[in-house]
Every structure is written in C-alpha cells, then in structure tokens.
Amino acid sequence: MAVITIIGAGMMGSALAFPARENGNTVRLVGTPLDREIIDTCRKTNRHPKFTRDFPAGVEYYQIEDVKTALDGAAFVIGGVSSFGVDWFSEEILPIIPEDMPIITVTKGLYDTEDGTLLCYPQLWAERLAARGMKRNLNAIGGPCTSYELVAHDQTEVTFCGSDPDTLRMLRDAMKTDYYHISLSTDVVGIESAVALKNGYALGIALTIGLNQRAFGLDSELHFNSQAAIFGQSVREMAGLLAMRGAGTLDNLCVGAGDLYVTVYGGRTRLVGILLGRGLNIDEAKAELQGVTLESLVVAERVARAVKKKAERGEISIGDYPLLMHIDDILTKKAPVEIPWEKFTKETF
Amino acid sequence: MAVITIIGAGMMGSALAFPARENGNTVRLVGTPLDREIIDTCRKTNRHPKFTRDFPAGVEYYQIEDVKTALDGAAFVIGGVSSFGVDWFSEEILPIIPEDMPIITVTKGLYDTEDGTLLCYPQLWAERLAARGMKRNLNAIGGPCTSYELVAHDQTEVTFCGSDPDTLRMLRDAMKTDYYHISLSTDVVGIESAVALKNGYALGIALTIGLNQRAFGLDSELHFNSQAAIFGQSVREMAGLLAMRGAGTLDNLCVGAGDLYVTVYGGRTRLVGILLGRGLNIDEAKAELQGVTLESLVVAERVARAVKKKAERGEISIGDYPLLMHIDDILTKKAPVEIPWEKFTKETF
C-alpha cells in the first residue's frame, strides 16, 4: 500500500480518490487555491459537493498551504487540475515535487504553439521545467472516463501513458480495481492527442441533436442517423490528425473513438452543441451557459488553428478536415450551423 | 428521372421509396409473399403500417404476382428483403431480373461457409447465379441508416458499393437528396463486412446498460464509461476482423464505427443486450421478445464461428477477440454475462 497525493479537488481528481483509497492506499486530497470551499465541505461531510456518494472512509483532505506535508512520503502524485490550472500546476506545484516522485495527470488538453505545433501537457511541462534546469517523471491518464460514473463504480477502462514502463506498472498496481481497468502505453503524444482531439467532434455530434430539435421540436425523439454520420466522419478526421502527430495507430484511434463516444453524452460540450444546433451563435450559447467552463471549446480552437497552419505550409490538406473547419467557423467566426454533409461523402474506387 | 423497382416492403426497403420518389423517379414498391398485408395497407392509406408518415405521393404498390410488370422498364432494382429472405431473393427474384438491370441490396449480413469463409450477400448471390450460368450487376448499401429516421429525413450518410463505378454513379444520381448523402466504393467486401460485423458488438454495448440496471435499478441513469470501453474494444476487434477479410482500411472502419454507433440505439439488438445484461439467458431473452426477428444475433454467431475456424487453422489469434468470444458464449452456450474487462487492457510499449 502506498501514499498517493492528489492535487486538485475538482470532480476528476476527487473521483480518483475512490479506486486509490479502495485499494487500501493512504490518499491525500489537496485542493488548489480555488478549491478551498470544496476541501472544507469534504472535511465536514466526507463527500465532494458535486458527488452523490461519500468518499471511501479514510481519505485525508488538505488545503493548499499544507501541500508540502501532503507530498511527504508519497509514492506518486495525481495531478487533477482543470486545463485552466495547467500553468499554476506547472509553475507552483511541479517544482516542489521531488524529482524521483512520479506524477500522473488527468488534465486533458492540447496547447498550440506559434508554428502550429500541438503539445500535450506532459510535453509542455517538460519543456518548461527543462528551461529551469528541472526534470520530472511525467505521466498521464487518457481514455473514456467521466468522474461521476467512476464514483458510481461503472466499469471503466483508461490508459496510463508515460515514458517508463516500470513507473506505469507501479501506477497501475496502485490504482487498478475490479471496476477501474488500466491499459499502459509509452505513446504519450498518441494517447493524449486522441483524448484531446475528440472535443470538437463531440460538439459536432451534439449539433445534430440541436438541429433536429429545431426541425422537429424540443421534445422530439433523438435521431441517430445524423449523429452516426458525424461520428464516422469524426473517426476519419481524428485518424488523420493522429497521423499528423506521428501517432496514427489503431490503439490510439480506439482510445479516441471510445472517448468521443463518452463525451457525446458528457454534460457541457453536449449542451453547447445542442444550443448551437438550435440556432444560437457561439456567444449566445456561452451566455446561456453562463459560468460553465468550456475547456473543450478551447481545445477545439487550438487544434483547428494548428491544422490551418500546417495546411498553409502544405503539410496537410485542409480539405481532409471539413467537419473540424466548420466547427472552427462556428466557434471563432460565429458562423451559423450548416453541416457540410456532401463534403463527407467520397468515392473509393 | 428513372423507374425504380423496390422488392421487399419491409421498413428499410419501404423507407428508400422516400428519397427515390422525392427525386421525381417512378417508384414501384413490390411486396414479398410475406408482405401481402403491408401492400394492401399501403394501397389503402399510402402509408407503411410501421411508419408515422405517408409515402410521397405517387409511389406505386405491387403484390408479388405482379413483379414482372413492376420490373418492366426499370432502371434498377432495390432489394429490400430481410436477411431471412436472402434465399428467396436469390432463387426467385434474381433470375427474373434482366442481366443488364443493376440491383442494389440493403440486406445486411454475412453468410459463413464450412471452412470459415464469410461471404457477403452480393458474393453469395454471384456464386449461386454462376452455378446456374447466370450473372447480375450486384451492388449493396452499407452505412448507418435506420429506416424510420430516413423517413423522418434525418441527415443520413451511406455508402453504395459495387464493382462498377459508372453503375454506382447512376445509382447515386437517382437516389441522393439533400438529406440522403451517398459515398461510393468498389470495396464491396469491406463495406458489407463493416456493417455486418457491428451486430455482435452493438449487443455487447447494450449488455452494459442491462448490467447497470441490475446494479443500480431499472430506472437508474444511463452510464457511459462502460459503454465507451466496449465501444473502443469493438472498434479494435472490428479492425482486426476487417483486416482478416483483406479489407482493413480506414474508410471501412469509419463506416463500421458509424454503423455501430447507430445500432447501439436501434431497437432490437439493444433490447436483447439489455435483457441479457439484466441477467436473463439468451433463451429467456428471446422468449421475452417473442416474435421479434433478431437478424443481428444470427450474424454475430456466424462471424464468431468463422473466427474460431480461422483460429483453429492458426490464421488469426483468438485472443485478439475476447469480446466477440464472450458474446458468442452468451449466444451459443447460454453463458451468463461476465464481461472480460481485464482482457481488453493492454501494454503498448
């Protein structure tokens, strides 16, 4: 049994306390400066304010000022910040984690540089640390997993990725349960890309739900032909984007397809897509969802921006990504939804 | 504008009368010997008994004894029989269709031979016709399309496949509308396999819904982590099966993934899966759904049988198909549902 320190008491970080603690590990859940009230609540009730189930008995809760105590003697750290917390995590937390203490992050996302290079967070952090003469053992969790279903013990399969197989095996041994199943991969770029790329495409599928509500009424039954058409096109475009990243393997594509599937039903991205499909523009949709964080839209914009830069340099063909480009127009140019269905058809002779 | 003769007045054949007729073609819908009452109803009401919407004005209805009249002058024939009607279609109908009249079938399925070879229906029919010294221009429709959503004009993308690009283009020109989008492919085996292979896997995803109902109550919310885990594994196994058929292209896999997506929500396969997941064995589940035709189960059994034969000969590894094998055990050995989650995990180093 090990000591596991989770930093970030959002839903995903907190959900990982369940398998971690149920395996008999000592689990220390540390809030970020924004999680102060969450930690207070957890201490009082032993339940995360957004969960419907108590934490397993024995999870320990820490405010951020006690983070060093929480790190003392830990076998590894789980980074559970949102994508809006990655800079804080990289500047304030990574440097105080001992060099030999592995870190595994659940933050999904991609960062794009000026020249159109997409970096996943372990890459971004490694670069920033290197600039300060530092190095950490950085790993990540990808794959289809919503926090509230993990808390409910729904059967879940994820992939732990990192550069060192022994570290990955140690992490798996500490975390795997009879409902939390863990694949391992040294293809960090591939796994992290697969699970980030799906964001724009999940929005795309949700658009069709809103379009049908506009056409057939808000209470109309869900239609799936159009969702499935977008799903197929999404898998095609994701395969292209993975190949663009040198990660076009079937393993990565399957992780991406599974993650796309779960995200279509996740809350926030779906809601935005439906509102857009009903006829709102992106500003109106965001206003409707005031206060909801929409990390997925940020990622979709970054991916589209990178694709356009690569296309300008002739490295890829923009015509291979009609769905992503339409989603980008919706997000960045307030374009109305007009899905280019015919562009998805092809002749394979 | 052309004359299009549809043979088989089931839901899918009948649904295709919508785009066909809305494009201004003359459409003749011919019932099989089992469709006699359907044709009577259509004549009286201009509506298929299972649809909630009238046919477009002008569709003509024929009983089977008038099939030759219905074929007279047709530009092509749409075969709309169920998989239980393929023998009848091949023995009774194909021979009376003129040799130069293209045929496009919507019947999805695969037929397995003694040695574990899987044949799609165009292949099976071509072999049978050849044995009688005959030849027909056989094409097929694959891709995610449920009949009732096509009738509702939900945006739909399918693939027409056949050996002759010019025939395929003619068929597309006659059928495509602003809601029915058509890709073309000469990879008949690939497209037909992709859309048939998904049957067992759709059942697999539905199992998790029933398992969760058993664990959390019949009225519990849907969980998607487990559905997504099965979805990812399904895409992986389908890719392997397509490769086994010499059809392991991304195009085919995307058609299969989209078709799997739509089938998870289609009625009958989903229902069986849920009942099995709740704890019924296959006999009990079938009894519960008395009278419902379950073509998908037949296809899943055939595919599993073919895979086992190929594995016995060392041509493939049975260990690559843990989900298909479990589904086969459920269907053929009345095995209880016990999804081998850990077998889906892997190490990619």
Residue B155 to residue A344, Cβ atoms within 8 A: no
**A168 vs A185: CA distance, rounded Å:** 8
| DSSP classification of residue A102 | -
Residue written as tokens 């969790």?
A141
**A321 vs A323: CA distance, rounded Å:** 6
- Global pTM reads 0.95
Backbone angles phi, psi at B139, to 5 degrees: -130, 170
Quote the minimal CA–CA distance from B86 to chain A in Å: 25
Query: What residue in A sits closest to B347 (Cα-Cα)?
Result: A184
∠ CA B115-B119-B123, nearest 5°, is 130
Confidence of residue A341 (pLDDT cuts 50, 70, 90): very high
Residue B225 to residue A259, Cβ atoms within 8 A: no
Which of B300, B253, B245 minimizes the C-alpha distance to B272?
Answer: B300
CB count within 10 Å of CB B160 equals 23
Residue A225 to residue B145, Cβ atoms within 8 A: yes
Which chain A residues have a beta carbon less than 8 Å from that of B236? Answer: 250-251, 254
**B270 vs A198: CA distance, rounded Å:** 25
Q: What is the pLDDT of residue A168?
A: 98
Q: What is the mean pLDDT of chain A?
A: 95
Tell me if residue B197 falls in helix, strand or coil: helix
Q: What is the pLDDT of residue A291?
A: 67
Which chain B residues have a beta carbon less than 8 Å from that of A345? Answer: 157, 181-184
Q: Which of A143-157, A266-280, B92-106 has the lowest mean pLDDT?
A: A266-280
Residue B261 to residue A186, Cβ atoms within 8 A: no
In chain B the first and final C-alpha atoms are separated, in Å, by 58
Question: Which positions ≥6 away from A203 have C-beta within 8 Å?
Answer: A269, A272, A273, A276, A296, A297, A300, A327
Q: What is the pLDDT of residue B1?
A: 86
Tell me the pLDDT tens digit for each residue of B183-204. 999 999 999 999 999 989 999 9
Residue written as tokens 């750290």?
A77
Compute, in degrees rounded to 10, the torsion defined by CA atoms B250, B124, B263, B35. Answer: 150
Residue A156 to residue B349, Cβ atoms within 8 A: no
Pick from A235, A339, A349: CB nearest B186: A349
Query: What residue in A sits closest to B191 (Cα-Cα)?
Result: A348
Task: Tell which of A151, A154, A242 to mutate to test the B interface (max B CBs under 10 Å).
Answer: A154
Which two tokens mark A105? Answer: 């992050």
Q: Are strands B60-62 and B26-30 parallel, antiparallel or unpaired?
A: parallel
| DSSP classification of residue A33 | G
Quote the minimal CA–CA distance from A208 to chain B in Å: 9
Which two tokens mark B95? Answer: 């021979």
CB pairs under 8 A between A and B: 199
Task: Tell which of B106, B154, B185 to mutate to test the A interface (max A CBs under 10 Å).
Answer: B154
Quote the minimal CA–CA distance from A64 to chain B in Å: 31
Length of chain A in terms of residues written: 349
**B285 vs B164: CA distance, rounded Å:** 43
Question: Which positions ≥6 away from A192 have C-beta within 8 Å?
Answer: A108, A110, A120, A121, A122, A140, A142, A161
Pick from B152, B236, B342: CB nearest A223: B152
Confidence of residue B50 (pLDDT cuts 50, 70, 90): very high
Quote the minimal CA–CA distance from B264 to chain A in Å: 10
Tell me the pLDDT tens digit for each residue of A168-225. 999 999 999 999 999 999 999 999 999 999 989 999 999 999 999 999 899 888 899 9
Residue A349 to residue B259, Cβ atoms within 8 A: no
Residue type at A119 in one-letter notation: L
Q: What is the pLDDT of residue B222?
A: 87
Length of chain B in terms of residues written: 349
Which of residues B105 and B269 earns the better pLDDT score?
B105
Tell me the pLDDT tens digit for each residue of B74-117. 999 999 998 889 999 999 999 999 999 999 999 988 998 888 89
Tell me the pLDDT tens digit for each residue of B122-142. 999 999 999 999 999 999 999
Question: Which positions ≥6 away from A215 have C-beta within 8 Å?
Answer: none
Pick from B183, B211, B223: CB nearest A346: B183
Residue written as tokens 């664990």?
B215
Which chain B residues have a beta carbon less than 8 Å from that of A258? Answer: 228-229, 231-233, 235
CB B166 within 8 A of CB B160: no
Residue A229 to residue B346, Cβ atoms within 8 A: no
What DSSP line would sit under B297-333, residue for residue? HHHHHHHHHHHHHHHHTTSS-GGG-HHHHHHHHHHHH
Query: What residue in A sits closest to B243 (Cα-Cα)?
Result: A250
Which chain A residues have a beta carbon less than 8 Å from that of B152? Answer: 216, 223
Query: What residue in B sits closest to A143 (Cα-Cα)?
Result: B229
Query: What residue in B sits closest to A243 (Cα-Cα)?
Result: B250
Confidence of residue B291 (pLDDT cuts 50, 70, 90): low
pLDDT(A276) > 70:
yes
Give me the sign of the Cα torsion angle A168, A169, A175, A180: positive
Tell me the pLDDT tens digit for each residue of A44-81. 999 999 999 999 999 999 999 999 999 999 999 999 99
Alpha-carbon B256 to chain mean position: 11
Residue A224 to residue B345, Cβ atoms within 8 A: no
CB A76 within 8 A of CB A170: yes
Quote the minimal CA–CA distance from B68 to chain A in Å: 33
Which chain B residues have a beta carbon less than 8 Å from that of A265? Answer: 222, 224
CB A153 within 8 A of CB A179: yes
Residue written as tokens 């859940």?
A29
Tell me the pLDDT tens digit for each residue of B2-14. 999 999 999 999 9
